[in-house]
Amino acid sequence: MRKSHDSVFTIGIGGAAGDGAREAGNTLGTILAELGYESFVSFTYPSLIRGGHNFARLTFSKEKVYSDHEALDVLIALNEESIGLHRNELASYAVVFADLFEQKDLAALGNNAVALPMAATVKDMNVPAITRNSMALGAICYLLDLDFELMQTALQKAFNGKQPETNIKLADMGYQLLKEKGFKHKKKISPSPEKKELIDGNSALAKGLIAAGLDFYVAYPMTPATSILHFLASKQKDSSLRVIQPESELSVINMALGIAYAGKRVAIGSASGGFALMQEAVSCAGMMEAPLVIAVSQRQAPATGLPTYSSQTDLRFVIHSGHGEFPKIVIAPGDPEESFYAGAEALNLAWRYQLPVIILIDKIISEHASTSLLKADKIKIDHGSVATELGEKYGRYQITSDGISPMAFPGTPNTIVKTTSYEHNEIGITIEEAGPTKAMLNKRFAKTETIIKSLDHHETVKIYGNRSSNDVIVFWGSTKGPVLEAAKYIKKSVKFVQIIWMDPFDVKKVTQELSGAKNIICVECNHDGQLAALIREKTGIAVTEKILKFDSRPFEPVSLAEEINKKI
Amino acid sequence: MPLNLSTISKITWCPGCPNSQILVAMRQAISALADSGTLKIENLVAGAGIGCHGKISDYLNTNAFTALHGRLIPSLTGIKCANHDLTVIGMVGDGDAYSEGLEHIIHAARRNSDIKIFVHDNQVFALTQGQASSESPKGFKSKTTPAGSIEEPFDAFPVLLSSGATFAARSYAGDIARTKSIIEAAIKHKGFSFVEIIQPCITFFDTRDYFKERVFWREGGPAENQFKAMELCKKDGEKIPLGIFYNVEKPTFEEQLLK
């Protein structure tokens, strides 16, 4: 029996693949968001289409929820094995909904075992089996003491276009069934005043790209990046956005280089394995100074690894991606909301500085959803430096003091635009002489200096907690979730440092935040402590402790808090 | 005013290399298309891969995209997708299109991408000093095949025709006038054009005499279907047919994408 915290409420939905556990989790999250709750929805599943255990877990609260919790207040078991698989995660007072209970479960759960005739009802109604989740959702709404009318409105919104009548009818039946039993949960959570949107990181990132004027998205499917492709493919209607799925990742990135050369805003995306296939062309984007956004979602590697599970093992790979030396930008957002702004910022940065910009995320950010505030009207489109002095003298790679050469595109009268993978002179013709080679390399690296000068205008590092504390927890990417959720249960008042810009690294700011600290604990999901090593390389500061996890699962916030409490 | 299609770049092909003949044919074709008003020179993008052939982008005073080895073709599709007013042509080598990245030319044909591909086929890796390529004949001796190649050469025509290429032709670099007219026809074709240009490598695999005796320009128009086209282009023992084997119009990838 687990202890669950009073300020949060966690619901698990377990079933076989195809039972709709994920959809039920997202629907519930949407309803709760509509009612003003903050929530985080995770989804765990094996790499197969049918069968296997799928599990959605939703933690909600009045305050921002950064990560889901393990201790379950409610479990919806869509099949028999789900009870056994999650028995150890049940909190005291946990309520379990299932079609049927075995005798031993009834004995253990007592009145908290609530039989819901989900399968029988959908069979009687002759509707798809997957809709049986809705009955459980309705039952949960009563259990949580949610207003019936509000639930109806929220369900309408959540089931928009997905058989709303059937689903709402089933939810009503579940609600009434619990009402008849007069059964409410012992724990009560009140909503927060601000209404947000429940969204996963891939959709949020895609929305950010659209907000910044994306013209083309090109990708080859690979979990966990695939839903960016799905989301954007569904947005082409009544839009100038176009999505292409070529024959391979190599085709993807080389096609994108052509699109950027011809003047259109393009992004590509893959898992780190697909990104590995693209390496020669990442370098080519650097050489051609092509504005190119690349979304890279990490999963547990090496090789095919665990396709549907997460890791933070590709930080080093991504910042060193592409052969040779050339400037690039690597941004690692920590949740869906940051992914939205990172998507928009990446596209603008790519065009301002004419280089590859990589958004480094992972399975947790890509596929888990949390309530977020995405302000598309805050996004401005930066078209970069567009050439006004055209004609015969134009050179695509004109040497300038800030390293940025004004862009022109093919199709411009009297103006020739040459780009090449070879080292080149200002007009884009191959060179091999030492002096001009060095001059062109220096021109490209002048952009790095220009970017570093502008770092103060970007959120390269985020600070949470007690800014003057001598105990510092440093982390990156999706580990933000469990760390900030753990923060609620860390006894000492500590400072939390999230590093977002990995390249160029904000040496000044990170040094400022870490120097003089007594304890610096670096928390990340990899074996080598890649961020800890990067901090030492860039600032000379060695972290005092590392908490590393590399079993393909994210940190659990309450356990993480316990581990941190022991160290400080 | 006649177009100036030459650049400041010094030509570094071996003296007498048939690549220069292809360059002349290409410049003549571009000039003719520009003079007739078919092509606005600013709308031409000349792509090239990596290999001896790839130097051509430096020698053409036009927009140019010089890609990575074996990766030009998807870049050209990207360019055409981004701006369908552009006329997108690409020069590739046999190593650059049939060895590294072979999948791209097949998929571009399958999509009927509106790009024009000219394969400079010298049957050898010349820029890297003469190794066997996927076009080298069986028994070809080189530094990497000292006892002679044990592999059969690759025949792109049946593969590309069955993949959906809507224009297929073969030319011989030594015949500048005919090569020029084939280049013009390929550029005028709406959809995916595939032109293989036999181009002897005078340094590493001098096949000039071999081809001079065997190539011939076939009479008659292109075939009515892809299967007949496969017959027409077949190297029949000692004879190698040249000309346009197939030329049909189908909706292009880019026009359907942008619809």
Domain boundary among A453, A473, A490: A453
B184 to chain A, closest Cα gap in Å: 20
**A418 contact residues in B (CB cutoff 8 A):** 57, 63-66
Answer yes or no: is pLDDT of A51 > 90. no
The shortest CB-CB distance from A263 to any of B62, B72, B82 is to B82
**Interface check A262 vs B, CB under 8 A:** yes
Q: Is residue A1 part of a domain?
A: no
Mutate to test the interface with A, among B73, B81, B87, B113 (most CBs of A within 10 A): B81
Window 163-222 of B: residues touching A by CB (8 A cutoff) are none
Residue with tokens 């005013």: B1
User: B126: closest CA among B208, B19, B71, B201?
Assistant: B201
Lowest mean pLDDT among A77-81, A358-362, A460-464: A77-81
Share of chain A above pLDDT 90, in %: 86
Q: What is the band of A495 on the pLDDT scale with cuts at 50, 70, 90?
A: very high
Sign of CA dihedral B98, B100, B102, B108: negative
pLDDT at A224: 97
Q: How many residues does chain A have?
A: 568
User: B240: closest CA among B151, B137, B100?
Assistant: B137
Lowest mean pLDDT among A8-22, A44-58, B64-78, B105-119: A44-58
Interface contact flag, B57 A418, Cβ < 8 Å: yes
pLDDT at A182: 83
- Residue A60, domain CATH: 3.40.920.10
Number of H helices, E strands in chain B: 10, 10
Q: What is the DSSP letter of A53?
A: E
- Residue B212, domain CATH: 3.40.50.970
Helices (H), A35-77: none
A408 and A482 share one domain = no
> Once rounded to an integer, what is the mean pLDDT over residues B145-172?
97
A221 and A319 share one domain = yes
**Interface check B139 vs A, CB under 8 A:** no
Q: What is the band of B185 on the pLDDT scale with cuts at 50, 70, 90?
A: very high
**Interface check A216 vs B, CB under 8 A:** yes
Answer yes or no: is pLDDT of B95 > 80. yes
Contact A505, A332 (CB under 8 A): no
- Number of CB pairs, chain A paired with chain B, less than 8 A apart: 134
**B75 contact residues in A (CB cutoff 8 A):** 254-255, 257-258, 261
A351 to chain B, closest Cα gap in Å: 16
User: A349: closest CA among A320, A325, A327, A334?
Assistant: A327
Report how far residue A129's alpha carbon sits from residue A131's, in angstroms, rounded to the nearest whole number: 5
- The helix, strand and coil proportions of chain B, stated in percent and rounded to the nearest 5, come to 35, 20, 40
Q: Is residue B235 part of a domain?
A: yes
Mutate to test the interface with B, among A244, A264, A418 (most CBs of B within 10 A): A418
Window 35-64 of B: residues touching A by CB (8 A cutoff) are 40, 42-45, 50, 55, 57-58, 61-64
**A259 contact residues in B (CB cutoff 8 A):** 78-79, 81-82
A508 and A552 share one domain = yes
pLDDT at A440: 98
Q: Is residue A427 part of a domain?
A: yes
Q: What is the DSSP letter of A551?
A: S
Q: Which two tokens stand for residue A62?
A: 């009045």
Q: Is residue B84 part of a domain?
A: yes
Q: What is the H or E stretch that residue A345 is in?
A: helix A336-353
Answer yes or no: is pLDDT of A491 > 90. yes
A333 and A307 share one domain = yes
A256 to chain B, closest Cα gap in Å: 6
User: B111: closest CA among B253, B255, B256?
Assistant: B253
Peptide bond into A224 cis (omega under 30): yes
Q: Is residue A2 part of a domain?
A: no
ipTM of the complex: 0.98
Please state the pTM of the whole predicted model.
0.96
Residue B177 lies in domain: 18-257
Q: Torsion angle of alpha carbons A306, A309, A310, A314, nearest 10°?
A: 20
A341 and A231 share one domain = yes
> Once rounded to an integer, what is the mean pLDDT over residues A389-403?
96
- Residue A287, domain CATH: 3.40.50.970
Report chain B's mean pLDDT, rounded to a whole number. 96
Q: Is residue B134 part of a domain?
A: yes
A255 and A210 share one domain = yes
Domain boundary among A378, A396, A424: A378
User: A294: closest CA among A383, A203, A404, A219?
Assistant: A219
Q: How many folded domains does chain A comprise?
A: 4
- Mention every residue, 6+ apart, whose C-beta is less than 8 A from residue B126: B51, B52, B201, B203, B204, B205
A152 and A213 share one domain = no
Residue A242 lies in domain: 198-378
Q: pLDDT digits over A171-213, tens only?
A: 999 999 999 988 888 888 888 877 789 999 999 999 999 999 9
Report how far residue A198's alpha carbon sits from residue A29's, in angstroms, rounded to the nearest whole number: 6
Contact A494, A518 (CB under 8 A): no
Contact A365, A228 (CB under 8 A): no
- Mention every residue, 6+ apart, whose C-beta is less than 8 A from residue A128: A122, A163
Strands A545-548 and B44-48: unpaired
The shortest CB-CB distance from A422 to any of B66, B104, B257 is to B66
Q: Is residue A49 part of a domain?
A: yes
A404 and A334 share one domain = no
Q: What is the DSSP letter of A307?
A: T
Lowest mean pLDDT among A148-152, A230-234, A236-240, B131-135: A148-152
Contact A99, A136 (CB under 8 A): no
Answer yes or no: is pLDDT of A328 > 80. yes
pLDDT at A181: 87
**Interface check A246 vs B, CB under 8 A:** yes
Q: Is residue B12 part of a domain?
A: no
Domain boundary among A345, A378, A411: A378
pLDDT at B1: 57
Greatest Cα pair distance, chain B, in angstroms, is 55
A441 to chain B, closest Cα gap in Å: 18
**B62 contact residues in A (CB cutoff 8 A):** 416
Q: How many folded domains does chain B comprise?
A: 1
Answer yes or no: is pLDDT of A521 > 80. yes
**A410 contact residues in B (CB cutoff 8 A):** 42-45, 63, 79, 83, 86
> Once rounded to an integer, what is the mean pLDDT over residues A260-273?
98
**A420 contact residues in B (CB cutoff 8 A):** 57, 64-66
pLDDT at A425: 98
Residue type for B51, please? G
> Once rounded to an integer, what is the mean pLDDT over residues A416-434?
98
Secondary structure of residue A72 in the 3-state scheme: strand
Q: What is the band of A2 on the pLDDT scale with cuts at 50, 70, 90?
A: low
B43 to chain A, closest Cα gap in Å: 4
Helices (H), A144-278: 148-158, 164-181, 201-211, 226-233, 249-261, 272-277
Strands A519-524 and A471-475: parallel
Number of H helices, E strands in chain A: 20, 21
Peptide bond into A504 cis (omega under 30): yes
pLDDT at A5: 79
Report chain A's mean pLDDT, rounded to a whole number. 95
Interface contact flag, B79 A258, Cβ < 8 Å: yes
Report how far residue A406's alpha carbon sits from residue A352's, in angstroms, rounded to the nearest whole number: 10
A18 and A56 share one domain = yes
The DSSP-derived string for A401-438 is: TTSPPPB--TT-TT---EEESS-B-TTS-B---HHHHH
A349 and A405 share one domain = no
Q: Is residue A206 part of a domain?
A: yes
A156 and A27 share one domain = yes
Neighbours of B256 (CB within 10 A): 10
**Interface check B81 vs A, CB under 8 A:** yes
A64 and A172 share one domain = yes
SS3 letters across B141-157? CCCCCCCCCCCCCCCHH
**A263 contact residues in B (CB cutoff 8 A):** 82-83
Interface contact flag, A429 B9, Cβ < 8 Å: yes
A383 to chain B, closest Cα gap in Å: 16
Window 400-419 of A: residues touching B by CB (8 A cutoff) are 409-419
pLDDT at A1: 55
User: Which residue in chain A is spatially nearest to B5 when comparing CA positions?
Assistant: A416
